[in-house]
Amino acid sequence: MVLLSILSIPFIAAIILLFVKQNEKANYIAIASSGITLALALNIAFNGAANFDASWISSINARFVLTADGLSKILLLLTGISFPAIFMATSKNEIKNRAQFLSLMLFTQTGLLGVFLAGDALLFYFFWELALIPVYFLCSIWGGEKRIAVTFKFFIYTFLGSLFMLIGIILVYTHTADQSFAIQSFKQASLSAGQQLTAFALFFTAFAIKMPIFPLHTWQPDAYEQSPTAVTMVLSAVMVKMGLYGVMRWLMPLFPNAFSAHSNFVVILSVIGILYASFIAIRQDDMKRLIAYSSIAHIGLMSAALFANNEIGAQGVLIQLFSHGVNVLGLWIIADIIEQQTGTRSLKEMGGLAKQNPTLGILLVGFAFANIALPLTNAFVGEFLMFNSLFQFKPWTAAAAGVSVVLAAIYTLNMVQKCAYGEVSEKMSKMQAPNVPAQFVLIVLLIVVIISGVYPAPLFDLTADTLQQLFIK
Amino acid sequence: MNAIIASALLGVLMMFASWIFDNEKTHTRIALVGLLALIVANVLQLNGIYTIPVDYKGLLSFTQFGLYVNTILFILTFLYVWLNGDEIAKIGNHAADFYALFFFILCGASILTSFNNLLMLFIGVEILSIPLYILTGADKKNLNSNEAALKYFLMGAFSTGIFLLGITFIYGATGTFQLVAPNVNPATGMVREQLMQSAGLILIFVSFNFKVSAAPFHFWTPDVYDGAPTVFTSFMATIVKATAIIAFVVLFHSQFKALGYAWELLLTFVLISTLFVGNITAVFQRSVKRMLAYSSIAQVGFMLFALYGPSSFANEGILLYIMAYSVASIGLFGVLIKMKEYSFEAFNGLAKKEPLLAAMTTIFTLSLAGIPLTGGFFAKYYMLNAAVQSGIGLWLVALAILFAAVSVYYYFKLIQAMYFVEGEPAIHEVEQGYKYKLLVFAILILAIGILPNVFLSYLYF
């Protein structure tokens, strides 16, 4: 039941918000509902929850099944933390029709939670699409100048990908013994080698576009740049995880042979993507684009480690799913505060943040360190494990991906230097102290970064069962 | 049987109604009551409570499927008249005449869902078609409407000829008009007169493609849909098209399966070209009405998947498809009727002026595009599943998917105009009641999209 309620709370709040007119009230409702969701997520993560199973479309044997294992829990936590953080950090921003904006955000949250909880393939597909539709409207209505074309590209890309996944689902479904969409039946479907390969390709296309894996990434930087920052935060902190989640939940267990047969190919693509994105990030002057490319590089590393197909890599990814979300969220919030107050995203026009506002300067440095995966930050744990796994897979892939750490240090520190140090620039002189909720959120996030960096054991415990399922048959 | 008799009688009754009552509102009310009576009559038979005893000599066969389709068609017509009554009254002199034609069309439809004989099929198709020619030309003073009616009539007559020729061939091969298994020689196990039967079947296939406007027999569709009064386009593109598709599916799921691959190959060709022509041409349309005409061709492409092999997915799927497609289209045309002009630009800024109307238009559009949570998703899903199950190549399904992505392009142009472009929408004043009526359509779409089961359970009573 608790699984059903975590899904219905944002949904109900979203519907209520459709009828709310005042901005203040809307804010309270959104923050309150996402706060309750966070509490439920914590409860599910640390106390566990019984499966929810109800009849849905009986004639084709599709059921409304929600389950939460370690993989789901860690992403529930991430979704749970992200939304209240985003709502609070952007609560003072100028957004017209705020109630509608927040309502669509909460619909997105419903879709995301559904994706992470669904234990039935058709239901999974349902939520997968549902998470996309509100984002389409959010970006197209509240986005930047080129928003309509950019968002449409993003939408068509991901929609096409998910349609391919739909064919994959149908293909596996027709080969299940009991004609059902349950994940257990899917695992036991009798597919020939050729069919397994086809189904693998169909699912993989959807996930690869979502992550995105090079060369399917072209929608992403534009979409991140043109979206309103609150939506960019959702996209990069939570939504890209849908692709990685899909790989771990469906691709690995369902098509083990095709998976290991193609791991080489995907790892190479991912490594190319990492280097490519890192080099582009170095050249960026726009802070938002820089973070976007850095995020592509980090996700690339995660997909490489996942497709290296060993336990240590999967463990690293499971930790990093959470850590990357928190880190990138922190960076986005800081970038947003700077843009809101100084009106610029160009690094050339910044400088002297540390003098102008020491607190924000320190926070920026903190998240920047986490972005480079320095020891004591949460990202170190995950990235260490992931490099380890790549080394086990093929040492040269670890070496190639290792270059990206150096590159990450270059672009991240470059950003910190241009933004925080030097003389106070003309634009930066307009910078005042960020509002209290935003500051509060940043501090909390930084605490999470450090705690999970120093003492990551709870995260390991949380995800142990998923690892066991994936690797110990 | 109940439906056939009742709809014919009600049609006659409706013709006299314009004599007795002068008020067009009254005509609409009488039509609505008549439709309700029709639904009741049909449901009585569906549930096996009472059937008018008629000896139909095996010319008809009433199946659960056919009777349920009747119910759906009647309910759709009821909703359609309920929504569009005022608009229908604005065209021509007597609304009652149009309602009479509707009832005759429904009479044809109920024959088409229960034929067991090629002649009955022919009669059904004709009873369905002839009133349509009149409806198309109903706007007598409009040249476009006249042109459309003439075009439709000529092309329709031509396709009827082809249809009859096909029936003749099959009669020649089998010696009967009944739908029976192909005439097999017991000694050799071969189909007798296979060539003649196949030729006849292909001719019928072609003629049906014309009726459902599948490419390359679709050329009449855009002009007729564009020229006909918008209310009647709404009727033709939904309820009539749904009937034709159902008859098509029933016919080709019957004995013709045994006749082998000649027509299945042809079907694949027709399916691909329909998807191609419908979707690609729709992309370039400037007028929403014409875009909807082409999109209705594209939708037929998806419905044709049901022709591959009888399976529960194909049967349930085609039902869901006609429901979801018809409800969404009637709704969308319902919005279109209120527009002053039909260009995409006319919708600019609609979300600001009429938020509820824009939201409902979005739901209809999303359903036509097949996005989850709307009925259109399950409709497409069932069709794709039927296709995969029937064992045709996955490449065909993948192709259909690509075209579905193309369709998103032109459907979303409407959403973009309403929500993301500033402007003054060219829309007439819409009364509150009308919006609430449309809301029923939107809710129906969502209901089909969330619990399609509810709408299918009747099949298995």
Which of A56, A60, A173, A180 is the best mutation test for B, with the most CBs of B within 10 A? A60
Do A227 and A272 lie in one domain? The reply is no
Q: Number of CB pairs < 8 Å for A and B? A: 74
B348/B388 Cα distance (integer angstroms): 40
Domain range enclosing A348: 262-473
| A156 pLDDT more than 70 | yes
Q: Which residue has the higher pLDDT, B237 or B194?
A: B237
**B416/A148 Cβ within 8 A:** yes
Question: For B405, which of A56, A141, A163 is closest by C-beta distance?
Answer: A163
The pLDDT value recorded for residue A125 is 92
Which residue do the tokens 């389950």 mark?
A: A67
Tell if the CB–CB gap between B416 and A141 is shorter than 8 Å.
no
Q: In whole angstroms, what is the distance from residue B389 CA to residue A295 CA? A: 41
Which pLDDT tens digit goes with each residue over B384-443? 988 888 878 788 888 999 999 999 999 998 998 898 888 888 888 888 999 999 999 999
| Residues A402-436: tens digit of each pLDDT | 888 889 999 999 888 888 887 887 777 777 777 88
* Integer Cα distance of A405 and A297 in angstroms: 10
Amino acid type, A246: G
Boundary-marking domain end, from A256, A278, A293 = A256
Lowest mean pLDDT among A360-374, A430-444, B74-88: A430-444
| Single-letter residue type at A445 | L
ipTM given for this complex? 0.88
Nearest to B375 by CA among B415, B319, B313, B334: B319
pLDDT at B460: 63
3-state secondary structure of A376: coil
Say how many CA atoms lie within 13 Å of A4 toward its Cβ. Answer: 8
CB A277 within 8 A of CB A220: no
Structure tokens at A407: 């590159």
Mean pLDDT of B69-77: 94
Run of H or E residues at A271: helix A263-283
Specify whether A362 is located in the same domain as A237. no
A127 and A20 within one domain: yes
Task: Measure in Å the smallest separation between the Cα of A305 and chain B Cα atoms.
Answer: 30
pLDDT at B162 over 90: yes
- Is the pLDDT assigned to residue A473 strictly greater than 60? no
DSSP letters for A56-90: EEGGGTEEEEE---HHHHHHHHHHHHHHHHHHHHT
Residues A292 and A422 in one domain: yes
Q: What tens digit of pLDDT does each residue of B222-273 get?
A: 999 988 999 999 999 999 999 999 998 888 877 666 666 677 788 889 999 9
- Tell me which range, A95-109, A459-473, B103-117, B298-312, is most confidently predicted by mean pLDDT: B103-117
Helix B394-420 / helix B288-303 crossing angle, nearest 10 deg: 160
Specify whether A233 is located in the same domain as A267. Answer: no
B311, B390, B410, B412: best to mutate for the A interface, most A CBs within 10 A: B412
Domain edge (last residue) among A256, A280, A308: A256
Contact call for residues B61 and B116 (beta carbons, < 8 A)? yes
pLDDT tens for residues A355-407?
Answer: 888 888 888 889 998 888 888 888 888 888 898 888 888 888 888 888 888 89
Contact A160 B372 (CB under 8 A): no
pLDDT at B33: 93
The reply to whether A88 and A109 lie within a common domain is: yes
d(C-alpha B133, C-alpha B456), whole Å: 33
Query: Strand, coil or helix: what is A329?
Result: helix
The confidence score (pLDDT) of residue B455 equals: 85
Same domain membership, residue A277 and residue A239:
no
Task: Report the chain B residue with the minimal C-alpha distance to residue A170.
Answer: B385
Query: pLDDT per residue over A301-341, tens digit each?
Result: 999 998 988 888 888 898 898 999 999 999 999 888 888 88
Report the percent of chain A where pLDDT is more than 70. 100
Tell whether A227 and A291 lie within a shared domain: no
Are A349 and A461 in a shared domain? yes
Instruction: Say yes or no: A191 and A138 in one domain.
Output: yes
Predicted local confidence at residue B422, as pLDDT: 84
What total of structural domains would you count in chain A? 2
Residues A206 and A270 in one domain: no
Same domain, A234 and A341: no
Which of A256, A287, A303 lies at the terminal end of a domain, its last residue?
Answer: A256
